[in-house]
Chains A and B, each alone.
Chain A
Amino acid sequence: MKKILVIDDSPTVRQQVGLALSQAGFQIVEAVDGLDAIGKVDASVAMLICDVNMPRMNGLEMLEKLRTDARWKTLPVVMLTTEGQPGLIERAKKAGAKGWIIKPFKAELLVAAVQRLTA
């Protein structure tokens, strides 16, 4: 069972992403912000789904920090956020994000994207 790390300060979003993915057979680990996520990434994690606007360490900072570690250079990360500004999307892309989804997400599309990126 592939493990997905869901990072969002909103418990409702973590729950909704978690339910959609767990119904599709994924195992879910949750983190409440970027800093929490950095502490929870390990070799068993197949992919990250990460919010942008979060306290302590936002999603883009988390992504940029993650990529400084050689172990996580290619770990798939998809940003899931209410933000849709091209500048932010470009920054995420440059930092090595694999995708960007504007909230509210469509569960079936999210599941399909996760299945594709973890295949």
Chain B
Amino acid sequence: MGAGKATLDRLRGVRERIIARVRQVNKTTEDDVLGAGRHVHRVAEVAHRHIARLRDVLSGPVGAEDSDLARAIRSQSDHVRQHVTSVGRAVAEHASRVGAVADQVRSITAAAREIERLNAAARVLSINARIEASRSAGSAVFSTIASEMQQLSKAIASANKTVTDLAGAMEKAVPELVRQNQALARVVDGYSVEATERIDIVDRRVAELRAAVGTTLSESDTALAEIVTESHAALSRLQFQDVCAQGLLQIDGWVAELAHQTATELGVESDIAPVAHETVGNDDVEVDRKEAGQVMLF
């Protein structure tokens, strides 16, 4: 009896040491695995947040046709195109008006020549009236007519000189206006071509940028999917801890069973402590680990 009790006491002592050591090992591995799990989670979380931020930053301004920056650039390009067209129209209208002024100046010059011709006729009439006055022994009527005609002719000649001078000045100014208009038209045309080319370049760059953003976002999605897959793989690998922990706790079950059997064989009363980890199944049945992870849906 005494030897049996001593054997059971030794078994009890072994069990206590086994359980203490298993719990210590399990606690250590559990802490480390939980820490590793938190790191895996953090990596995936940072990747999710970073890519979400990247999507906000990139897809907002240029990612799509109707994005803010694309709309602003398109609006600016349309505005410049409209402005260039409008300036071109104004220059053409100005050229047309300068042409009309030139025509009018030519008409004024022609009119001045006509007035000069009429004035010459008036002078002839004045001379004729003076001749008639001398023939009529100083007829007062012809003398008056001759005098009036002479004064009128002088007045017309004076006025016509002013008109002719003005017309001459305008005739000199009009070609200068035409030259200035042509120079302005060339500047406007040059600007128009340059602006159109630059707008086309901006449009191309925006399209290239949008394509690059699309590719980057698509690559980011692929990278994120890869990170999630890798984090899943890491989580799957970390499960060794639970399997090992349960395996180690099985040892206590076997020692407890040994203690029961020993007590029975020795015919002694025993107060054997319950196993540290209850199992529903039979601990000795080895599960085919190739089946691990497979999902059986009923």
Tell me whether A19 and B37 are in contact (CB under 8 A). yes
- Which chain A residues border B277 with CB–CB below 8 Å? 53, 55
Chain B, interface residues (CB within 8 Å), range: 35 or more
- Given A16-B238, A19-B40, A87-B281, 4 additional A-B pairs, CB 8 A: A10-B245, A53-B280, A84-B287, A101-B295
Give B residues with C-beta under 8 Å from A.
Answer: 30, 33-34, 37-38, 40-41, 44, 228-229, 231-233, 235-236, 238-243, 245-246, 277-282, 285, 287-289, 291-298
Chain A, interface residues (CB within 8 Å), range: 35 or more
Given contacts A85-B281, A88-B280, A93-B298, whether A19 and B231 have CB atoms under 8 Å apart is yes
**A39 within 8 Å of B (CB atoms):** no
Tell me whether A98 and B298 are in contact (CB under 8 A). yes
Indicate which residue in A82, A101, A108 contacts B246 across the interface (CB closer than 8 Å): A82
**A38 within 8 Å of B (CB atoms):** no
Tell me whether A11 and B34 are in contact (CB under 8 A). yes
Tell me whether B34 and A105 are in contact (CB under 8 A). no
Query: How near does chain A come to B35, taking the closest CB pair, in angstroms?
Result: 10
Q: Complex: how many Å from CA A107 to CA B243?
A: 16
- Which chain A residues border B280 with CB–CB below 8 Å? 52-53, 58-60, 83, 88
Q: Complex: how many Å from CA A110 to CA B296?
A: 10
Given contacts A53-B278, A104-B236, A107-B236, whether A12 and B33 have CB atoms under 8 Å apart is yes
Within 8 A of B (CB), among A62-119: 78, 82-85, 87-89, 93, 97-113, 116-117
Q: Complex: how many Å from CA A79 to CA B30?
A: 22
Interface string of A11-27 (1 = CB under 8 A from B): 11101100110010000
